Structure 1
């Protein structure tokens, strides 16, 4: 099951027509049919009932899948927008820290700064 198949399924389920779904998605009608058959094979259920006159109806399995397909497509679109949006430039201040934590170096033979716990002064007493 992939995004393209879910997009095709959602469009065909909304329009109840493979040929109109193909026209809206700029696919050939045979591509829509192939994608739907592949999705049905993957899921092991019929999603559409094919009727005479090129119209289709959703089966109960198709009706159950439709809201999930819509949620997955909305989430994929949100993820795409998040990944491709440019981050807001920072105004002044401290530049962002590089990944990988503290990059300060220790003098040869000494532990890195901040790596040892602070020592308590035991001479001062309680």
Structure 2
């Protein structure tokens, strides 16, 4: 990695599930599991350690896991059977019903027109929520 707080291209984005990475023929459990992080590898006196980190906390000297080969998530079979009943599923449906999308879109459109009418410029960085709310 060349810059602190910047992940390399194609880095593996972590999930809520316990994860392991295969390094030099051994499966290493990832510590501090969380969603939307990166897996950083650090050599310690006790051996290689893999831990989940926020992107902003990545250091220059850390190795970050890229791609998906040699990564496995661990989910208990009984959890898979209960999917849809008890398991957490972030934006699991095709369209989120958490908000009245039409009202929010109308408010945003008004703001954009107002900025444009005053000679301003707008840059939009859209994420997955656009698709999950039907904005695609």
Instruction: Establish whether TM, by shorter chain, passes 0.5.
Output: no
Higher relative contact order (CA 8 A, sep 6+): 2
TM-score normalised to the size of structure 1?
A: 0.22
Higher helix proportion (structure 1 or 2): 1
TM-score normalised to the size of structure 2?
A: 0.21
